Structure 1
Amino acid sequence: MSSRRSIAITLAVCVLVSGIGFPVFGVGSAVAQDDGGDVPSLPATYYGELEVTGGTLSGPVLIEAVADGEVQDSIMTGENGQFGGPTISDEKLEVQPPDGDEVTFRVGGVTVNSISFESGTQEINLSASQEELAPLFSTTVTGSNSPIDAGETVTVDAIIENEGALSATQDINLVNADGDVLDSTSVSLAYNESTTVSLSWETETDTSVNETFTVESADTTASIDIEVERVTLPEIAPEPSPPATGGGGGGGGTDDGSETDSTGGNNTDDSTSEADTGASTPGLPADVESVHTEQQTIVSDEGFGLSQVRFSGESDVVSITWDSADVAGNVSVTALNDTPSETGPAPGALVSVSQITVPDNVTTETATLQFRADTTQIEELGAVTDDLQVYRFADGEWQQIDSIVVEESNDAIVLQAETPGFSYFAVSATGEPKAEINSPSEVAVGDTVSLNASNSTDQYGEVVSYEWLIDGESHNGESVTTEFEQAGDVEVELTVENGANKTNTTTTTISVIESSDASTGTSSQDSSAGDGSTDDSTPGFSSGLALIALLVSALMARQRAD
């Protein structure tokens, strides 16, 4: 036994030695081959001085050594232009042997000297002009938050990079089309360093701008188009005096020549002719009453490029403004006690309705309107400011026009909207309806199921449409009936819409079960129980495990016998 073991060990040692030996011989052979090869060239290192022709050096400058078109190394000069030194501990420019024979030296990205490559340490003198050493701050506009509404702040972002040779500090300005500096910030950058700046301009509420702004450094500029949309209109026309109502009697003219009628009757004063006013006073619909009628003259302003008419505090209309200084004539506004039959009800809960008549040549011209809504009336409706919407009657229906709140006080809220033409206008409180599904939570396969949305509500009006999506199928109506052919969970979705075209969606899940499950109340897991059989076997111990145990015991007995 011992002799066999000795032979095995001897063979293993022989194999190990032979496996190591060959590579060792191979390495030695390779080394021997290298003895006759070329010795690689040493790098070149440079130190010296940078001189300025036609001027003096105003600060440290970055010098780059370039070979084969790539920057090999760089070094900063001192204030006096010296760079590196001759001793082994001094910093130097280092260049590896290039494929070509030339090494160039750059200052601020501009080549100032070129020499032939020679290995070893060398002292060199470089020269550059004053212009080549000047800083160069490039500007790149990266974006802005334009367009914005007047009263908000314009922000312009830009990247500033020093592409010149010297470190420097410059002012970066935001300039408008008139050359006015709107914002400025100071930036200090070393050569090849960059930073991001944000310049801003806080606009006034009556600002209207659509022009090119410029971000400028001392060296370069970059431009971007900026748009600021006017929100609050300038008050061009004078505010009329309150009309004299005579204690609720017949209306009378105001001191400024305007005509008003606050009688609450159903007739307006048509005494001013169309030739005099540029617009005839409209006929009052027979099924509604006039709450207030007022007629005012349009005023133009060449400086703002606008035309405007304003109304007294008793009118639901505050002002009408056209984006042109060429509009002239009179405008009539009649506040009504309700929407006329020719328009039908406006969406939501009515706050005010007015009939506006303008000169014939601007009936289809775009204009900006301001409406006054009484806060007491809004509170009585249980509404809030965000619920107020402006509607215009056109093409046989009430159409919502976008509006914003421009003024809010204890007495009134002023809404501003842009209209493409003139007709009846209404201010209403509208909100989102609330969808609600009435349905059973569990039904049997094949049963008829009734679903209804009668409990869906709208705070200011009525729900006008009901759309159902039941198990992927579409249905319409306040209530629907259906049946399910397969067991499982079915999703039911209901979307309701009110007269203001606002919607709300809700979902529910109905469990569909087999008819037999519903009648017996048993599950398939219990089907094996109740047959009178019992299980007396040991838990987890099967016949297979017993066989394995016997085999293990037999092997153990055999081992003890040996």
Structure 2
Amino acid sequence: MNVRHLLGIAALTVLVAGLVASGAAVSGAAAQDGPPQTPAAYYGEVTADGEPIDGVTVEAVVDGEVRDAIETDAGGRFGGPGAFDEKLTVEGPADEVSFRVAGSQAGTAGWESGANERVDLSLDEAPTPPDGGDGDETPDDDPTTDPGDGTTDSGDGADGGDGTAPGGAPGGAGGAPGGDAGDDAPGGEGSGDDPTDPPAAEDVLDLPAGASTTGAETATAAVDEATGTSSVTFTGQTSVEGITFDGAVEGAVGVAEYESAPAAAGPPPGASVSVVEISVPESATDAPATIRTRVSADRVGATGADPEDLRLSRFVDGEWRGLETTLVDESGDAVVLEAETPGFSSFAVSAVSEPDAAITVPVETLDPGETVTLSGLRSSDEYGEVVAYDWSVDGDAATGSTTDVSFASPGEYEVTLTVTNDAGERDTATATVAVAADDAPVEEPGLLSARALGALAVAVAAALVAVLVVRRYDR
């Protein structure tokens, strides 16, 4: 072998070592680039003083920059939780997302890649309409202020007449027995109603403006002197059969059944069967009682619900709260339920159940340091929806329907997911993530890895040997 051949071999060795080193450097740089982050999505409801705000713009802002905007619907909602619902989407990463409603700050939320989060926003007062009005003007001829309604003139009984004067309650003001201290015959002809009859439903029930009902009635609470409790029984115009108060309550009790839940309350959790409003004397607003409801089998069947899954909920302090409910009777015609309540407002019968938590791990085994996305999107709920995902990964907490994880060392790691549905029910699932043992040392990213440096050292040594051989032949 001549000198020229030896020099060629040395040069080729150095070239190969350089290519190995540069390839290792490119691999190290690529390892630093993680998978692209998924935008976070937000939806929810906008209210002012507890009432939904229709047709206002909600903006998602990061560091003073508007990232997305959406308008509320008639129920004050913006977007929705479903996969095909419109939402506010925010590219990341971001430390925090601020939300503005009609230009006013209304709330904040954290940012997490792939999150699908409900964020309810509230303002102290509704934004002023573009025309500057407050939307509450009442016509000057509002009949509720017309003196002819019989409420401003107790009079002498003449005004009450036969109780047909427009605008008045039955019998007019003069229809009340005795008129004005008995100046005339009591109440004229009056309305003919028995003074023990309950008042009209509209005089007892306090319903939201524009509420649509399918039935309403009233009853008068009677005290049982032997037990000290009170009760009312209704005639079946609504799903409420009766109410038993734990203590003495006297006065009119009204119940009305809505066609759908009031906008201020929003839909009850799970699959809704019926929603009612119950009004009681002011002294009994926070009185504990037992409510008995009767729901037709057809209405239950329309939801596909198992009667055992039916539950009464009460709307209070801005949310639906489940009540301890007992299935009293189940027949071919109806389902009868009883529930204890600490007070009165709106009530709903709906089907609820525990959700089913599920974890998806996309690979069987990870390499040390490899990142993988765990998903809880296969979690489900029979009647309602999953509204919260809470993860525990090797002792670390995370939220969102998906979460990214990685582990530096080989072994098996336990992952826990707890999901919560719209009824507040929870379920937990666990999974094990396996991380494979790596016989080769883990390379640190950088210009040259340990393997690349070794290859370069071998090439240099080979070059030095070649030089020494050349010098020997020259001698």
TM-score, normalisation: structure 1? 0.42
Larger radius of gyration: 1
Bigger share in strand: 1
Which structure is richer in relative contact order (CA contacts within 8 A, separation 6 or more)? Answer: 2
